[in-house]
Amino acid sequence: MNIFCIGRNYGEHIKELNNQTPENPVVFCKPNSAALTDNKAFYYPDFSTDIHYEVEVLFKIARPGKRIQASQALDYISQIGLGIDFTARDLQSQCKSKGLPWEIAKAFDHSAVIGQWINIENTDLRNLNFSLQKNKQVVQQGNTKDMMFSIEQIIEYLSRFFKLNTGDILFTGTPAGVGPIAVGDLLEGFLECKQMFSCEIK
């Protein structure tokens, strides 16, 4: 299983971090060891003091494909989900300031919360509301219609460079409202009105 992530895919999030708007999807990857499933707790690591939550809509690849056209992209996904891209913001800032890659800030162990999956039949993928609650308070809200690069465009772009395989997971970017976590927090993600995951910070 590969975990492909898209950065800077929501305009308001780009603004809140003072980033430049990309011409193409910004791609990075997480290893299998990043996956945190089954509502397991996230244990705050000792290498960072500023880890942020970033809630994201996820898609699961249904069959292998390479150089997939956008018009055929939806044939390659079977399920939709919700997750969190945990980011060590302090490490990311340090790496960026030196012009270095920032994988250690994004791809560390258990940095990818992956909630439950639902089938995409009869789902309008271009108009899905999703949200994140921290300690029962909404901290992020988004809608897939606000994605700068649609899932079709993402799949077309990714498959130019990588063969997509059955079971691969696509993180599609986060809306505005990212912020820090602390030990004792409870994070809960919702797709429309359905709770998709729950994650305690320990």
Q: What is the CATH number of the domain that holds 180?
A: 3.90.850.10
Instruction: Judge whether residue 134 has pLDDT over 90.
Output: yes
Averaged pLDDT of the chain: 94
Query: Tens digits of per-residue pLDDT, 141-173?
Result: 999 999 999 999 999 999 999 999 999 999 999
* DSSP secondary structure letters along 134-178: ETTEEEEEEEGGGBSS-HHHHHHHHHHHS-B-TT-EEE----S--
Instruction: Please tell me the predicted confidence (pLDDT) of residue 115.
Output: 98
Query: How much is the pLDDT for 13?
Result: 61
DSSP-derived 3-state class of residue 104: helix
pLDDT of residue 78 exceeding 70, the answer is yes
For the segment 91-132, what is each residue's pLDDT rounded down to a tens digit? 999 998 999 999 999 999 999 999 999 999 888 899 999 999
The Cα 91–Cα 103 span in angstroms is 9
pLDDT at 16: 66
How high is the pLDDT of residue 123?
84
Q: How far is CA 98 from CA 14, 19, 22, 102, 138, in A?
A: 20, 16, 20, 10, 34
Q: What pLDDT digit, counting tens, does each position of 8-65 carry?
A: 898 766 566 666 777 899 999 999 999 999 999 999 999 999 999 999 999 999 999 9
Cβ atoms 191, 24 nearer than 8 A = no
Give CA–CA dist 36/41, Å, rounded.
8
What's the pLDDT at 17?
Answer: 61
The pTM of the full predicted model, rounded to 2 decimals, is 0.94
Residue 36: C-alpha distances to residues 49, 57, 157, 158 (Å): 20, 15, 26, 23
Mean local confidence (pLDDT), 76-83: 96
In the chain, the number of structural domains is 1
Q: How many CA atoms lie within 13 A of 100 on its CB side?
A: 11
Query: What domain range includes position 101?
Result: 3-200
Q: Is the dihedral of CA 12, 18, 23, 25 positive or negative?
A: negative
Show the tokens assigned to 62: 């249904």
